[in-house]
Chain A
Amino acid sequence: MRRNILVLTAMVVALGLMIAAGVMNYLQRRRAAEAQAQMMKMTLVPDDGSGQGSTEQPVTETADEAAENSTGMNGKAAPNFTLVDINGKKVSLADFRGHPLVVDFWATWCGPCKVEIPWFEKLHDQYASQGLQILGVSADDLDKDDPAKLFTEKRDIADFAQKMHMNYPVLIDADSIANSYGGLDALPTTFFIDKNGKIVASTIGLAPEDLIEADIQKAIHSGASS
C-alpha cells in the first residue's frame, strides 16, 4: 500500500514536471516567434532627401501619389527627341522649350488612352493662354521594313487622331525613344514638363482628370519666374 502511494506520487510529480516543461517550451517558442515577427515588420517612412530613412512618422502613400511618381523621372531633364508627326513634319522636344508641355504616350489599341485624350483636348484649350502645349506620341507598332504596311499603319494612326478630334500635334514611333523615357512598358504614360525642360510630374496608367489638371498647373507654375 505504502509502495503504491510512493509510485503514484512519483507519477504525479513526473506528470507535473512534463506539463511545466511543455508550458515553458510553448512560452519560449511564442516569445521567439514574436521577436522574429517584430524584426520582419517593415515601416514606410518619408524620404528626407538624405538617403537615410527616418524612424518616425510612418506614412501611407495614396494611389494618386503613387501614380504621380511612378516613372521615377520626376525632377530630371526631359530627354530630347525628334520624331515626325502624322503629317510627316519633324517635331523636336527642344522646339517647345519655354512652354509648359505635356508629352502623352498612347496607342490606338489602348482603351484608357481613349478616355484621357478628350481631357487633354479640353485642358489644351483651357490653358492655351498660359502657353500650355501638348504632344501625343503614338506607341503603335510600325513596320518600317514594309512600306505598304507602314503606310497603312500611319494612316490608321492619323484616322484615329482625326476621329478623336486631337487638337494637338500627334507624333509617331514612340518605340524609338522608349528607352530614354523609362521603357514605356505600359500605357498611357504621361510626362508633365516645365518651361525649362524639367519633368515635374509623370503618371503611368489612366490618372483622374483632376490629377492631370493639377500636374498641368504644376508644369505651368514650375520655373515660371526663371
Chain B
Amino acid sequence: MKRALALAALLTGALLAGAQKLPWQTSASMKPADDQLVHFLYPQQVTVPAGKAQTVELHFRINAGLHINSHEPRQKSLIRTELIAAEPTGVNISAVDFPPGSDYAFPLDPQEKLSVYTGDFVLKMHLTARKGNHLVQGALRYQACDTNTCFPPRNVPVAMDVIGQ
C-alpha cells in the first residue's frame, strides 16, 4: 500500500468565496455524471472524533470492461489516478493511500504490462477534523481505457460531509 499525498492545495479561500469555482470544476475534463466512467460510491457523510487523526475509506467503482491507470503507472507518459481535494477550515488532510495496481496488458500488446485499477477500489484518506460540520470537496482524476480504446482524462466529483464530534 503506497501512501501518497495528492492534495492540490489548501483552498479555503475559494471555498469561502462560494461562487468561485474550484480548480477541477473549471476544467473541460469535468463531465456530467452520465458521462463518467468512474463513480464515487460512498461515504457522503462521516462522523469522526474531533481533533483525532482518523482514516476514512473512499469507495469508487469503474464501469465494467474498463480499467484506469493506478496511482503509480509504469510508464511516465500514462496519466496516474489522483485525488485532488480542498481542505475546508477545520479539516486537515494529511495523506491519501492508494491501493497497488493490478497487472494488465492490451491484447495486441501482451508484453507491456500496465498497473491498473478495475472494478471497485478504495482510497484511504487520513484526516483530522475540528468540532463541527465540514464539507470536503474534491475530484478523482482518472484516465480510462477498454481493450482497444482510450478516453481522455476526466474528473469525477467527490464530496463528503465530515462531522467532528
* Chain A contact residues, CB within 8 Å of chain B: 107-115, 139, 141, 156, 160, 185-188, 204-206
Contact = CB atoms under 8 A, between A and B. Distances in A.
Contact of A205 (B114, B143, B149, B152): B149
Given A156-B77, A206-B108, A111 B145 contact: yes
- State which size class the interface on B falls in: 10 to 19
Interface string B73-114: 000011100000000000000000000000000101100101
A112 B106 contact: yes
B118 to A, nearest CB: 14
A109 B148 contact: no
Given A108-B77, A110-B145, A112-B145, A139 B108 contact: no
A205 B78 CA distance: 17
Contacts of B108: 112, 115, 206
Interface of B: 77-79, 106, 108-109, 112, 114, 143, 145, 148-153
A160 B77 contact: yes
Contact of B79 (A109, A115, A206): A109
B150 A109 contact: yes
B73 to A, nearest CB: 9
B151 A186 contact: yes
Contacts of B150: 107, 109-113, 186-188
A141 B79 CA distance: 11
A122 B79 CA distance: 28
13 contacts: A109-B143, A111-B78, A111-B145, A111-B150, A115-B109, A185-B151, A186-B149, A187-B151, A187-B152, A204-B149, A206-B106, A206-B148, A206-B149
Contacts of B143: 109
A4 B31 CA distance: 79
Contacts of A112: 106, 108, 145, 148-150
Nearest to A189: B149
A205 B77 contact: no
Contact of A111 (B106, B152, B153): B106
Contacts of A114: 109, 112
A109 B78 contact: yes
B23 to A, nearest CB: 12
A7 B28 CA distance: 82
Nearest to A187: B150
Ranked nearest first, the 7 interchain pairs of A and B with the lowest CB-CB distance are A206-B148, A205-B149, A108-B77, A110-B150, A205-B148, A186-B149, A109-B79
Contacts of B106: 111-112, 115, 206
Given A115-B109, A206-B108, A109 B77 contact: yes
Contacts of B152: 107, 139, 185, 187
Contacts of A160: 77
A62 to B, nearest CB: 15
Given A111-B106, A115-B108, A187 B77 contact: no
B71 to A, nearest CB: 15
A111 B79 contact: no
B151 A111 contact: no
A17 B152 CA distance: 67
Nearest to A114: B109
A158 B77 CA distance: 12
B144 to A, nearest CB: 10
Contacts of A139: 152
